[in-house]
Structure 1
Amino acid sequence: MTKNNDFFIPRLIEAPDRADQIVTRSALASSKPPEPLISNALDQGTVAVLYGPWGVGKTFVAIDLAACVATGRPWQGRKTKQAKVLYVAAEGAQGFDKRLAAWEQAWSYPISDDQFHVYPLPVNLMDYAEVDDLINRIHGEYEFVIVDTLARCIVGADENSARDMGIAVNSLDRIRRATGTVLAVHHTGKDGHTLRGSSALEGAADTIYATSKDGAGFLLDRKKRKEGPLVDRHHLQLSQVADSCIVEVRRPDAGPSQSEEARRLAEVEGITFDAARKRLQRAQKVSPPVGTAL
C-alpha cells in the first residue's frame, strides 16, 4: 500500500514493466501468432471465458478441456498440446473426483498426478496480495489454469462495475503471464444468453465460448476470437458414466450415444463399462458397410 493524503490506497493494478516493450514496424511483422493449446479452440498465452446458464454443461465442458490438455487426448477431434493443468474449483471439490473418474473410464485415459492438480478453494481476484501469493506458488508450474467459477473468486465485487471487473481481469492476466492459458468459467445474465456483468470482461478476453440449451443436449458456441475464424459450434450432450457424466458429441436422430449403449450393455452383461465400450467398438469395426449388408 502507498500513503496518499493520510489515506491508504490498496495496490490493485500491477504496473507493467515497460523496459524493452517498444517495438518497430518490422519487429511486428516478424512476430509469430500464438501457438495453439487446443487446435482452433484455445491458444497458449491467452485469457479465455466459458459461460452459460446454470445446469447447461459449462463445468463439464471445462473439465473435459482440462482433462484433454492434462492427458494430451484430442478435444473434439482436435490436436491438443499436453500440458500441466491447475483447476481452481472455487465452489469446492465435492463430486469432482466422480467427474474425473467418469471421464477416465469413458475415454480410457488415466489422468496423472503429475499433470493435473485441483485447488478446492476460491482465490480472491480482487486482492492483489492473495493473487500474488498464488502466482508465487504456481509460477512456471502450469500451462493451463481454470478458474471455476469467476463469481466465487470475486465475492464482494460489483460485477456490473467496470472498475471491479477490470481488477479481476488484471488478476487473470497476471496469472496468465505466470502460467500460460487461463480459462474463467462464468454465468449468463438475467436474459440467460449474454455474459453476466460489466462488458470489461468480454472486452478483455481473447476467446469466449458459451453454452446454451438445445433440446435434449446443448450447444457450445464461440462468441469471440481475437485472432482467427470466429464460428465454432459443437452439438453436445451429457451422457451418464458411472456416478457422473461426460461430454459427448450429440448427433440428432442418431439414437443413443455410445456411452449410453455401453452403460446398458454393462448392466445387462454384468461387465465393466470399459469392457462394454471396447466390445461395441470392436463390433463397429467388423460391421459390413450398409450397402453390402442388405
Structure 2
Amino acid sequence: MANCSPKSSTFRVRSEGRPVTIAIDIPDRTDVGPVIEAERFIIGTALTEIDHTPGADDLAPTEFLQRSHELIWRAILAARAAGEPTDPVAVGERLRAAGDLERVGRMAYLADCTSAAMGPGTVAHHAGIIREAATRRARVQQVARLSQLAGNDEQWERHAPQLLGDLTAVAGAAVATKGFGGTLLRRSQLRTLPPVEPLIDGVMSRRATVLLVGPSNTGKTFVLLSWACAVGTGTPWLGREVHRTPVLYVVGEGANGLDARVSAWEQAWKTKVTDDDVIFAVRPKSLGDPETWVGMREQARRAGSGMVVLDTFSSLGPEVDETKDAATITRRMADLAAAIDGTSVLAHHPGWGDPSRARGGSQLEANVDEVLILSGTSSNPMLELERKKVKDGPAGERTWLRRRAAYGSCVIEGVSASEKNAEMATSAEQIARAVFGEPFTKTMLRDALMERMSVSRTTAYEHITSLERDRVLRYVSGKGRAALFEMV
C-alpha cells in the first residue's frame, strides 16, 4: 500500500512483508523562463547553422517544453534527415505543409528565433538546460501516476515496482548533478567541440580568456587598440592573420584621446574603422558589480562581438581587490567569453618589482587561458610582447614592437630581428655603462636590465650574451655567479 499525493516525494510500501519507506526528491516547480530562452537559442542556432548543432543534435522533440518549439525542432530534424536546408524559409515551408506554421507563430516567429542565436560553443550548455527540465517534468508525471495507484492495492502491486524503479533511476541521475550546474559531455560530444583557433595568429586564440600584463606609460592601450582595430576590420596585425569579428572595447579612463588614436591607426594602415567594427563602452559600472557583466554580455551579443577588451582592471574595478577577487573576475571573464562564443581580454599592471607577472592574486594568471606580458619603458620606444601562457601550444613566443609618434598620436609597428638586436643591444650597453662604475656580476647586470628596460629575465640574459659577443662586456675576475665583469 502506498500513501502519497501529487506533491509528495515519500512512498511507504511493503516489501517481503516489511514496511519500507522510499523518499525521492521531486521539485515542486520548474522556472520555465530560462528553459524557454534555452529552447529559443537552440532553435535559432539550428536555423542559422548549415547542417548540425553540436551538443544538441540528440535532443528529442518531446524534451521541448513549449509546444511550438517541439513542432519547429521536429521539422528541423526531419529536414536534416532528408538532406534539406534548415534555414527559416525552408523550415517554414515544411511547417506550412504539415499545417503547423500558424501554430508556431508563422514565419515572423522563426525570424525572431534567429535573433536569439549565439555561438556554437554554448549549444551544449543550453541543451543541458532543456534536458534537465524535461527530466524534472518526467519525475513529476511519474509521481502523479503513482498517486493514482495509491488507493488500489492490486494496481499498486502490478505497476508500482516498475514506476518506482524508473523514478528512482531518474531521480538518482538528477541528484547526481543537482547544484553542480556544469555541462556534462560524453566522449563523442568532445569531438564536436570547435578546435582551438587563432584570433590573432601567434598572439591569442578565439574562445579564450586573455590577460595582458604591462606597466603604465608603455603603450598598453595602443597595443589593445591596434588589436581591436585589426580584428574589427579584418586587417592583418603586423603581418599576422586575424579572424574578423566586431569588437566591444570597454574603457575605464574616459573617451578623451580615443578618436586621435583610432585615426592614427586608420591612417597608418589605410583602413577605416566603421561604427560596426569597434564599439566603445566608456566608464561602465564597476567590474565588481555582477550587473556590469550582464550588461556587457548583452551589448556584445547585440553587436555580434566576438572580442571584448577591458582596459584596464584598475580603472574598471577601482574597489575590486586584485588578490581576493581575482578568481571571481576570471570566472566572469570566462562566462562572458562563453556567452559570446569569443574572446575576453583584460589589461592589467605587473607586480611590484616583478614585470613578468600580474599584480594581485596568482589566480589571475592561473585561471585565464592565455597570458601576454608587455615589457618596456616610457623612455624607450621598443616593446617586447611575450606569450607567457598559451591555451594550446608552446608558450614563450615573443614579438618585438615599437611605439612611433605619428598622425598626431602614436601607432604600434613591428620590429625586425635585426632592428631589435641593434637597438636593444645599444640600450643594454647604455644602461650598463650608466649604472656600473665598478666591476659587477652578471646577476647585477641582469637585474638592472630587467628593472630599467622592463624586460623578462630571459631577454635580459640575451642582452648580456650579445654584449659579450660584441666584446663590450669583459671578464675581470672570480668564478661562477661571483665572477666580475666590466664594460670595455
TM-score between both structures, scaled by the size of structure 2: 0.46
CA contact 2:266–2:272 (8 Å) conserved in 1: yes
1:116 to 278, 282, 285: 278
Matched, 1:234 2:395: no
What displacement does 1:30 show?
Answer: 5.3
Aligned to 1:271: none
CA contact 1:186–1:195 (8 Å) conserved in 2: yes
Aligned to 1:154: 317
Matched, 1:142 2:305: yes
Aligned to 1:98: 260
CA contact 1:154–1:168 (8 Å) conserved in 2: no
What displacement does 1:114 show?
Answer: 1.4
- For residues 151 and 170 of structure 1, the distance between their equivalents in structure 2, rounded to whole angstroms, comes to 17
2:288 to 122, 126, 139: 126
- For residues 285 and 373 of structure 2, the distance between their equivalents in structure 1, rounded to whole angstroms, comes to 23
Provide the secondary structure at the position in 2 that maps to 1:139: helix
Write the mapping of 1:136-285 to structure 2, written as runs, cut at 5 A: 136-140=298-302, 141-161=304-324, 164-179=325-340, 180-193=342-355, 194-213=357-376, 216-251=381-416, 252-253=418-419
Aligned to 1:60: 222
- For residues 196 and 77 of structure 1, the distance between their equivalents in structure 2, rounded to whole angstroms, comes to 31
Q: CA RMSD in A?
A: 2.2
What displacement does 1:205 show?
Answer: 1.1
Unaligned runs of 5+ in 2: 1-124, 132-182, 424-488
What displacement does 1:95 show?
Answer: 0.6
Unaligned runs of 5+ in 1: 1-15, 257-294
Provide the secondary structure at the position in 1 that maps to 2:276: coil
Write the mapping of 1:48-87 to structure 2, written as runs, cut at 5 A: 48-87=210-249
- For residues 136 and 27 of structure 1, the distance between their equivalents in structure 2, rounded to whole angstroms, comes to 28
Partner AA of 1:171 in structure 2: R
What displacement does 1:238 show?
Answer: 0.5
Partner AA of 2:383 in structure 1: F
Q: Name the larger-Rg structure.
A: 2
What displacement does 1:58 show?
Answer: 1.5
- For residues 212 and 249 of structure 1, the distance between their equivalents in structure 2, rounded to whole angstroms, comes to 14
What displacement does 1:216 show?
Answer: 4.2
- For residues 195 and 323 of structure 2, the distance between their equivalents in structure 1, rounded to whole angstroms, comes to 33
By percentage of residues, which structure has more helix?
Answer: 2
Most deviating of 92-101 and 189-198: 189-198
- For residues 410 and 361 of structure 2, the distance between their equivalents in structure 1, rounded to whole angstroms, comes to 32
- For residues 350 and 284 of structure 2, the distance between their equivalents in structure 1, rounded to whole angstroms, comes to 20
* 1:227-258 CA distance string (max 9 Å, x none): 112122111111111111100122455899xx
Structure 2 vs 1, CA of residues 31 and 85 (structure 1 numbering), >3 Å: closer, same or farther? closer
Structure 2 vs 1, CA of residues 70 and 29 (structure 1 numbering), >3 Å: closer, same or farther? closer
What displacement does 1:86 show?
Answer: 0.8
2:187 to 25, 33, 37: 25
- For residues 156 and 59 of structure 1, the distance between their equivalents in structure 2, rounded to whole angstroms, comes to 21
By percentage of residues, which structure has more strand?
Answer: 1
Partner AA of 1:229 in structure 2: P
What displacement does 1:177 show?
Answer: 2.1
Partner AA of 1:147 in structure 2: L
Most deviating of 149-158 and 64-73: 149-158
Structure 2 vs 1, CA of residues 137 and 213 (structure 1 numbering), >3 Å: closer, same or farther? closer
- For residues 408 and 272 of structure 2, the distance between their equivalents in structure 1, rounded to whole angstroms, comes to 17
CA contact 2:229–2:277 (8 Å) conserved in 1: no
TM-score between both structures, scaled by the size of structure 1: 0.75
Aligned to 1:279: none
Structure 2 vs 1, CA of residues 38 and 253 (structure 1 numbering), >3 Å: closer, same or farther? closer
* 1:250-292 CA distance string (max 9 Å, x none): 2455899xxxxxxxxxxxxxxxxxxxxxxxxxxxxxxxxxxxx
What displacement does 1:124 show?
Answer: 1.7
- For residues 305 and 285 of structure 2, the distance between their equivalents in structure 1, rounded to whole angstroms, comes to 16
Aligned to 1:263: none
Provide the secondary structure at the position in 2 that maps to 1:99: helix
Which structure has more relative contact order (CA 8 Å, sep 6+)? It is 1
Number of equivalenced pairs: 239
What displacement does 1:165 show?
Answer: 1.4
Aligned to 2:469: none
What displacement does 1:172 show?
Answer: 1.6
